[in-house]
Each structure stands twice: as C-alpha cells, then as structure tokens.
Amino acid sequence: MELRVEQLTAGYPGHLAVRGVDLVVPSGQVVAVVGPNGCGKSTLLRCMARLHQPDSGRVFAGDADVWRLNQRAAAHRIALLPQSPQAPEAVTVAGLVRYGRHPHQGLFRQWSPDDERAVDRALRATGVTALGDRRLDQLSGGQRQRCWLAMALAQETPVLLLDEPTSALDIGHAVEVLDLVREIAAEGRTIVMVLHDLAAAARYADAVVAMRDGRVVAAGPPREIVDAALVRELYGIEAEILTASADGAPVVVPGVRASRSAPAG
C-alpha cells in the first residue's frame, strides 16, 4: 500500500515542527527519515500514525485519508512502533505480541483462531517463537526490539512506521533489526523509519528523506543524495563519503565541524 503525505504542517504551542512536507512511499519500499535532533522527524511520523493532529495537509494510506478514518479503521492500515515503548510489568513475549491484535477486537469480535495465527506468524517472522513464554524484561536489547517488532507485525497493517528502531542497540543488534526490516519490506509492507545513523539509512533504505528545521531538504535514493554537502547541511560537520565494496552504499566518515554553528536540537 502506498503511503502519501501532502503539504503536511504540524507543531506545538509556540513551535512549528513540520513545515509543508510532501512524501510518497511506494508499496514495499523502505524510506529512512534522517536529520538532526529537533528537525521534526518524530512529529512527522506521529502525524502519519494519527497520534498528532496536523495543522494542515493530508496523509493517505492507499486511497484513504487516514485523518478521515476512525481510529480503528486507521489502525488496520498503519502501525507505529514508537521510540521507547513501555510494556506492562512482567509481560511475556507472547503476551506482548497479542497486544498487536487489539485493533481487531471489539464488542462482537473477540479473540479468534485468526488472531492466534497472526501472532504465530509475527513470532516466526521475527525469530522469537522460542521466547514466547519468557518475560520481556529478561531479554537482551536486541531480543526485546525484535519482540516489539513482532507486536507491530501482528497488527497486520500494510504500512509500518518505526521511530528509531535501533536506538540504544549495539551495532550487532542494530544490524540484526535492520536486516529484519528489509525482510519485512520484501514481503510487501511499506516501511518508514526514523534513523539517527545516516550510514545505516544509506545502506538499508530504498530512499532517504533528509529533514532540517521541519522541512525536507533532500530526498531520493541514498547513492544519489548522500554526500558531503548534505552531511554539512544537516549536522554542521565535514565528512568524507566512501563507497562500501559489498553493495556500493555510501559510507559516512565524520570529520571536523564545519565553520558555521551546529544545528540546534
């Protein structure tokens, strides 16, 4: 399902966080949104997920404007994994993943074999079936993040939004999670993820959207837009851009700070 954002503007009292953003994510593609702290990345994602009311503009999932849908209908199209999700105390992995089926429950629609199959599929897809009876708080950071992804997958939406899915993970677990993101997209889901690591975004995303001060300053395939000038504009540092021998992805090697002051955030 295609995800489309048209002239989206959103903010908070006294602060405009997103300014006239246009974005198109084709079905089955991975888009990484990058930029300095405070540039509007997470606000943009929250607007897409119907968690923050935009001041103007529209968000379409397929042919539907998500802000014209009721919350349950929107949750059948778009799932969001936030930055720092909080689980109920002592919840098991299987119990956590079952929360992903909440949008499918209702007064006349209780837990069903279809729900159980969706949970099983999500556990298998993320490689955590064997952890089903374990408590979430007993797992490593990488394992926990896989479990949170399983919960989002169990919602069975065609669009998946991930806000800093590798935050606080070491490089090994980060690669593990991003490899999983690519596998999920290969099955046809549309994914938008916020990343702080520009090099990871360049390697794992089909397209990179770079934001600064609430606006999109560059967008396109990583090999076309990730260069020293973009790094300087976003982060205020000089950088050398190398090419990975394995796949040709841009590799960002940070250097000294540029002459102008760094972006706020």
CA distances from 68 to 19, 58, 63, 64, 76 (A): 21, 9, 11, 8, 14
Q: Out of 65-69, 82-86, 218-222, 242-246, which region has the weakest mean confidence (pLDDT)?
A: 82-86
pLDDT digits over 89-123, tens only? 889 999 999 988 887 776 566 778 888 999 999 99
Say yes or no to pLDDT of 260 above 80: no
Q: Average pLDDT of 204-221? A: 96
Pick from 244, 133, 143, 152: nearest CA to 191:
152
Three-state DSSP class for residue 60: strand
Long-range contacts of 251-256 (CB under 8 A, 24+ apart): 251/199, 251/202, 252/198, 252/199, 252/202, 252/226
Q: Quick one: pLDDT at residue 256?
A: 74
Q: Quick one: pLDDT at residue 247?
A: 85
Q: Quick one: pLDDT at residue 166?
A: 87
The band of 262, judged by pLDDT with boundaries at 50, 70 and 90, is very low
What count of other Cβ atoms lies within 10 Å of the Cβ of residue 175? Answer: 16
Which residues, listed in sequence order, are joined to residue 206 by a DSSP beta bridge?
Answer: none
CB 2 within 8 A of CB 24: yes
The secondary structure element, H or E, covering residue 83 is: none
Distance of alpha carbon 65 from alpha carbon 44, whole angstroms: 15
Q: Quick one: pLDDT at residue 119?
A: 92
Q: Out of 24-38, 45-59, 106-120, 207-221, which region has the weakest mean confidence (pLDDT)?
A: 106-120
Average pLDDT of the chain to the nearest whole number:
90
Tell me the two tokens of residue 146.
């896989």
Model's pTM, two decimal places? 0.87
Say yes or no to pLDDT of 26 above 90: yes
Which residues, listed in sequence order, are joined to residue 15 by a DSSP beta bridge?
Answer: 12
Q: Quick one: pLDDT at residue 54?
A: 96
* Residues 6+ positions from 210 with CB-CB distance below 8 Å: 34, 35, 216, 217, 218, 219, 225, 230, 233, 234
Q: Average pLDDT of 37-42? A: 93
pLDDT digits over 133-172, tens only? 999 999 988 888 889 989 999 998 999 999 998 887 888 8
Q: Quick one: pLDDT at residue 72?
A: 87
CA distances from 60 to 6, 48, 50, 132 (A): 8, 8, 11, 35
* Residues 6+ positions from 4 with CB-CB distance below 8 Å: 23, 24, 25, 59, 60
Domains of the chain with CATH codes? 3-77+157-257 (3.40.50.300), 89-156 (no CATH)
pLDDT digits over 49-79, tens only? 999 999 999 999 999 999 999 988 999 999 9
Q: Quick one: pLDDT at residue 265?
A: 41
Pick from 216, 213, 217, 197: nearest CA to 205:
197
Q: Quick one: pLDDT at residue 125?
A: 85
Pick from 252, 243, 130, 126: nearest CA to 199:
252
Pick from 67, 42, 39: nearest CA to 54:
67
Amino acid type, 43? T
The band of 264, judged by pLDDT with boundaries at 50, 70 and 90, is very low
Tell me the two tokens of residue 234.
């976003």
The secondary structure element, H or E, covering residue 100 is: none
Say yes or no to pLDDT of 205 above 90: yes
CA distances from 82 to 87, 129, 165, 232 (A): 12, 23, 8, 28
Q: Which residue has the higher pLDDT, 247 or 60?
A: 60
Q: Quick one: pLDDT at residue 229?
A: 95
